[in-house]
Structure 1
Amino acid sequence: MLSLAQRTLKKVPSFQELFQGKMAKEEISVDVLVIGAGPTGLGAAKRLNQIDGPSWLIVDSNETPGGLASTDVTPEGFLYDVGGHVIFSHYKYFDDCIEEALPKEEDWYTHQRISYVRFKNLWVPYPFQNNVSMLPKEDQVACIDGMIDAALEARVSNTKPKNFDEWIVRMMGPGLADRFMRPYNYKVWAVPTEKMQCAWLGERVAAPDVKNVTKNVILGKTAGGWGPNATFKFPARDGTGGIWIAVANTLPKANIRFGEHGAVTKVDADAKKVSLKDGTVVKYEKLVTTMAVDSLVEFMGDKELVDLSKGLFYSSTHVIGVGIRGERPERIGDKCWLYFPEDNCPFYRATIFSNYSPYNQPQADKKLPTLYTAAGDKPSSSAPKEGPYWSIMLEVSESSLKPTDNKNMLRDCIQGLINTEMLKPTDEIVSTYHRRFDHGYPTPSLEREGVLTKLLPKLQDKDIYSRGRFGSWRYEVGNQDHSFMLGVEAADAIVNGTVELTLNYPDFVNGRRNTERRLVDGAQVFGKSKRAVD
């Protein structure tokens, strides 16, 4: 078979040609097929569209782009992202593409992160381990005692921690481990910390500075902001999903298939063909897929790879939304997102989604009936009334190691909001939302690398580039910017033979600002002249 460089490039048929004319349900050919129009798939498509040469097509079974970074709207007009997403970036190229899609100043709101941990009826500033000074005295003593022991042990230890739990104890001591790190991470990952490896941590978990923590305890001070998302952007309208709709709108519509026309039913890796639900067969030379890799190998019907993928573990995510009538209460203020390690609520994180944009909820003059109070009581009147309105978005994890009561989850979450003083029993609820995502978090389990170091190369030997949050299964490069660049770099690897930094060197990309320039033309493969874009 001719290589990608040797083939005569074929024009991708337009939507009208393919689905309204005589070509319907016939086989079409492209150089690169992209499955999935989330950040990773759109990153690949964006880059392929810049490169002068390869023909390409992107397909997605959803009617709108965004994938796990999309946004839902309730009938009452409340917006909820499919999980807690904000924009912060390690890559200039990502920034450029986002700014091209949403170029106006009024397209964005910029926020300073205001984040807390709920602990013993207190709001402890995030990160918890840097703000021991806010804890009750007995907890301060236990945490500092453990941190000192951990610091002394670190001086003489010559071995690496075997798992995430061991890393926690070595870095922070048992005081912090028992009060926050163990219970919170179990609520997030739905697996015990002993079953997780620690290579994924990077910049995601702050290691405490014993001297500063002790000084702040003595002086009664809090620590300053930490982390790459201390400042973040959020779109003014349409939620996070609006970003990816805007990015998709910068691409030629003839190269995009959504809904039934983009739903994959089979992947024939040997024949390099993908069958779509409407009967169309797409023949490719290279395949970039953002499907969950365990689902991909099922679509391929490859027993060896299916058996191998069973070593991967993941948790499911429930997203709960609660729309409330009334002015945003003072106890909520300008809080962004909040963490809940204790067992008085089923959720591990709450986002005050109405604080991100005034357009994330109905305007105050819209009349909505009260469904019930937070305590579950019927309203005194069923007549629609005006707002204002505010909203809370909650996340709950589920796995075989952490089952959940899905039937009563909404009720239990609202009770959890009362238990944590986020809501009062008399607050009027005007809208609710609940959606479960089977693949929520790709768990960095102890077995993960052993699987991925075999599975991903075996797929690539078949010219299949499995990339993205669940495509490459590396949570440490699973944010929106990472995911987008996984697609971009896969396209560059296919066309120019370049190294995929984000996939292969997570610590490198997370530890720096990536300002590299990219080539528009694929000179190394297609023999075109090089010209650069900033």
Structure 2
Amino acid sequence: MAKDEINVDVLVIGAGPTGLGAAKRLNQIDGPSWMIVDSNKTPGGLASTDVTPEGFLYDVGGHVIFSHYKYFDDCIDEALPHETDWYTHQRISYVRCKNLWVPYPFQNNIAMLPKEDQVDCIDGMIDAALEARVANKKPQNFDEWILRMMGTGVADLFMRPYNYKVWAVPTTKMQCAWLGERVAAPDIKNVTKNVILQKTAGGWGPNATFRFPARDGTGGIWIAVANTLPKEKTRFGEHGVVDTVDADQKKVTLQDGTVVKYEKLISTMAVDSLVEKMGEKELIDLSKGLFYSTTHVIGVGIRGERPSRIGDKCWLYFPEHDCPFYRATIFSNYSPNNQPPATVLLPTLQLANGEKPTDTKEAYGPYWSIMLEVSESSLKPVDRENLMRDCIQGLVNTEMLQPEDEIVSTYNRAFDHGYPTPTLERESVLTMLLPKLQEKGIYSRGRFGSWRYEVGNQDHSFMLGVEAVDAIVSGGVELTLNYPDFVNGRKNTERRLVDGAQAFKSMKGITSHIANGTVQANGSIDKR
């Protein structure tokens, strides 16, 4: 079969948040010719949503929308513009520890623990504070950071076991530069005061409130964003599968035989997969220094009214060994459309205790659901064959389910590249690998394209694509990629969803200040 040939200025690989951010920006400025391709028929990537045959929705992991960028907000609001498109929630989050529900963040709420654990945690915090005053070097890994900030009590009770369950590597093998706003450092005075007064600490972090789409799950957001793009510039599904990348010839060959020639390539596929498709041994060998974990997403649909013990909880953390999952999301709480209506007839598959039901006839709802996440790596194997059984037993162990609860639907999907792990070796690899690719005209960006978890949320990922386009077209500074602490520490208002010429004029003014070192830590521009 003769190969078709397409020529574009910018080719975007991947229609997850990063690729769609790049495509949105390219379409907005109406300058370079472009195309976006993705092997999946439905856009969304690692922010997509699956629907079970019974009608339960499950995101690819625990995603919620909160934002550091006005440009991101504008794009999302353009795609889903109506008030009825969204639900807004207050985060209600807990840690399951010692058969108790401790409000999140754990380290600020040790007042909820038994007295002996309170003593251990406060002792550790005091020792850590004293050590921090005389320490003459920064923590060298995540484990040292935990001990320096929180002490041995919190470390042993929560931080070490929980983070191992999340990352599937020991905390001693992780660096600590990624932390930023991800982990709350305790204020020992407030913690002690709350222990004495038996008070809980207030909400913390950027997602204390969050939005969730009323319909179609998180994936519905990205389908809506993709629908704002011209269809003739998209190739999704079987006609968008990348076979090889020839960086020297600046061409990508698709699996259907189509050859796409480009001037610049924005790739959002995992960078280790990208270099494999390039076939360049030096880059392949370099990428082997990157580590990742697989994420298993488990969904359980239950018949009955949502129990009072669950209430309005959003997501919950599980550091202990009585369950394989590290996080549970009460997905039915995010939207009433995340599960089938009560009028749908469904049979009971099993009881939570594993027994078969005595009555297998279909029955009505109502229904509610739980979504679980389990990590796996070469350092933390998982019994895949029995994972569903073990997770359901874990729900019973942690009193999320009662043994007699009726399970009407199950969902189980493994995502090979789930978390890009910030290991000790990560920066030495990325500081060589990403520039080598960029020298070849390839901008590897996104959760696994640039492999920086600290800027791996949906808003970050989207803006990685936007800023890659700005860098290509007008030399803009990629703030999100290169200055994670800067973008995470403020609300970025410099770009709005306006016409291309005005946006470029504004953006170039801001980036010139960045280049000259005149942007202050709070994000304002120093006019000196």
TM-score interval, normalised by the smaller of the two chains: over 0.9
Q: Which residue among 432, 438, 444 is the counterpart of 1:466?
A: 444
Show the counterpart of 1:265.
243
CA distance 1:474–1:74, shift in 2 (3 Å): same
**Which stretch shifts more, 202-211 or 25-34?**
25-34
Q: Between Structure 1 and Structure 2, how many residues are aligned?
A: 507
How many Å apart are 1:382 and its aligned residue?
A: 1.3
Of 113, 117, 126 in structure 2, the residue corresponding to residue 148 of structure 1 is 126
Q: Is the 8 A contact 1:118 1:340 kept in 2?
A: yes
Structure 2 residue 280 is matched with structure 1 residue 296: no
Query: In the alignment, what sits opposite 2:432?
Result: 454
Unpaired segments ≥5 residues, structure 1: 1-22
- How far residue 520 of structure 1 moved from its aligned partner, in angstroms, is 4.1
Tell me the CA shift for residue 531 of structure 1: 13
**Separation in 2, partners of 1:334, 1:517:** 36
Structure 1 length as normaliser, TM-score? 0.93
Select 1:203's aligned residue among 181, 194, 219.
181
Paired letter, 1:370 = T
Query: Is the Cα contact below 8 Å between 2:8 and 2:261 reproduced in 1?
Result: yes
Q: Is it true that 1:278 corresponds to 2:256 in the alignment?
A: yes
Task: After the TM superposition, list the runs of 4 or more consecutive aligned residues in structure 1 that deviate by more than 2 angstroms.
Answer: 517-525
Structure 2 partner of 1:31: 9
Deviation at 1:52, TM superposition (A): 2.4
Cα pair 1:28 1:283 within 8 Å, conserved? yes
Aligned sequence identity (%): 83
Which residue type is aligned with residue 266 of structure 1?
T
Deviation of 1:164 after TM superposition, in Å, equals 0.2
User: Does the 8 Å CA contact 2:495/2:503 hold for their aligned counterparts?
Assistant: no
Paired position in structure 2 for 1:84: 62
Corresponding position: 1:417 with 2:395: yes
Please tell me whether residue 493 in structure 1 is matched to residue 471 in structure 2. Answer: yes
- Partner of residue 236, structure 1: 214
2:25 counterpart of 1:56 = no
Whether contact under 8 Å (1:43, 1:486) holds in the other structure is yes
Q: Match for 2:491: what amino acid?
A: R
Q: Secondary structure at the match of 1:234?
A: strand
CA distance in 1, matches of 2:30, 2:211: 32
Of 151, 156, 159, the match for 1:178: 156
Residues 254 and 24 of structure 1: CA distance in aligned 2, closer, same or farther (over 3 Å): farther
Secondary structure of the residue that 1:329 maps to in structure 2?
coil
In 1, Cα distance between equivalents of 2:257 and 2:169: 41
Paired letter, 1:400: S
2 CA distance for matches of 1:330 and 1:418?
A: 16
2 CA distance for matches of 1:387 and 1:174? Answer: 47
The residue matched to 1:430 in structure 2 has which SS? strand
Aligned to 2:373: 395
- Name the Cα RMSD after superposition: 1.6
Task: Find the counterpart in structure 2 of residue 7 from structure 1.
Answer: none
Map residues 204-353 of structure 1 onto 2, 5 A cutoff. 204-353=182-331
* Residue 493 (structure 2) pairs with residue 515 (structure 1): yes
- Contact 1:496–1:523 (8 Å) recurs in 2: no
**Secondary structure in 1 aligned to 2:18?**
helix
Asked whether the 8 Å contact 1:52–1:520 carries over to 2, the reply is no
Within the candidate set 105, 130, 134, 1:127 is matched to 105
In 2 relative to 1, CA 337–24 (structure 1 residues): closer, same or farther, beyond 3 Å?
farther
Q: CA separation of 1:531/1:305 partners in 2, compared to 1, >3 Å: closer, same or farther?
A: closer
Secondary structure of residue in 1 paired with 2:9:
strand
Q: What are the superposed Cα offsets for residues 93-127 of structure 1, whole Å, 9 maximum, x if unpaired?
A: 00000000000000000000000000010000000
Provide closer, same or farther for how the CA distance between residues 37 and 212 of structure 1 changes in structure 2, counting only shifts above 3 A.
same
Please, which runs of 5 or more residues in structure 2 have no aligned partner?
511-528
Matched, 1:106 2:89: no
Aligned partner of 1:367 in structure 2 is: 345
Query: What TM-score results when the alignment is normalised by the length of structure 2?
Result: 0.94
CA distance in 1, matches of 2:182, 2:108: 14
Distance 2:351 2:2 in 1: 53
Q: Does 1:435 align with 2:425?
A: no
Q: 2:309 and 2:267 mapped to 1: Cα distance? A: 45
Q: Secondary structure at the match of 2:337?
A: coil
Secondary structure, aligned partner of 1:359? helix
Q: In structure 1, how many angstroms separate the alpha carbons of the residues matched to 2:84 and 2:8?
A: 38
